[in-house]
Amino acid sequence: MKYTKDHEWIKIEGEVATIGITEYAAEALGELVYVELPKIGNVYKKHDAFAVVESSKSASDVYIPVAGEVVAVNDALTSAPELVNNSTYQDGWIAKVKFSNASDLDEAMDEASYKKMLQAK
């Protein structure tokens, strides 16, 4: 698992990246009440806003950490957005993206570096 400075997590399987938001981000937002998912087939540049997570208080963009095409979205979040809070790294995934450039992942952090970044906050 990799992490970004924008608090997304990335799980790589072959050339597909599963993307979600980290526990830190989920906790900061509070319990989610709505997730706006991208459409399958949409193509994004790295760092494009590709999903929106909303808690009762605020809405936040989720930035895609790798350029590529959306190949799957987590429809379960439509009726149960709280999965992002309750099962952040499993059932709370947002989308799967077939990435076009593996080097996009170079700046993503491993768990230790991400934790270090949070501690420095």
Partner 1 sequence: MKTTKLNLVHRQQGAKMVEFAGYDMPVQYPDGMLKEHEWVRSGNIGLFDVSHMGQFIIEGKNVADFLSNITPTDFNLSTNFLAKYTVLTNENGGIIDDLIITKINDEKFFIVLNAGCKEKDAKWISQNLPTHLKFQELADRSLIAIQGENSAKIINNFLANGDVESINYMNLAIFNLKNSHEIFVSRTGYTGEDGFEISISNQDVEAFWLALCNNQNVKPIGLGARDSLRLEMGYPLYGHDLNDSTSPIEASIGWVVSKTNQNFIGCNRVLAEKANGANRKRMGVKLLDRGIAREGTEIKKDGKIVGTLTSGGFSPNLKISIGQGYFNPTEIKIGDMVVAVVRDREIPAQITSFVFVEPKTKSIKKSS
- Min dist CB 78 to partner 1, Å, is 7
- Min dist CB 58 to partner 1, Å, is 8
Q: 32 or 108: whose CB is closer to partner 1? A: 32
Residue 113, strand partner residues: none
User: Within 10 A of 10 (CB to CB), how many other CB atoms are there?
Assistant: 20
Q: 54 or 91: whose CB is closer to partner 1? A: 54
- Min dist CB 9 to partner 1, Å, is 21
Q: 19 or 32: whose CB is closer to partner 1? A: 32
Q: 78 or 90: whose CB is closer to partner 1? A: 78
List of residues contacting partner 1 (CB under 8 A): 30-31, 33-34, 36, 52, 54-57, 59, 78
Q: How many angstroms separate the first and last alpha carbons of the chain?
A: 21
- Min dist CB 96 to partner 1, Å, is 21
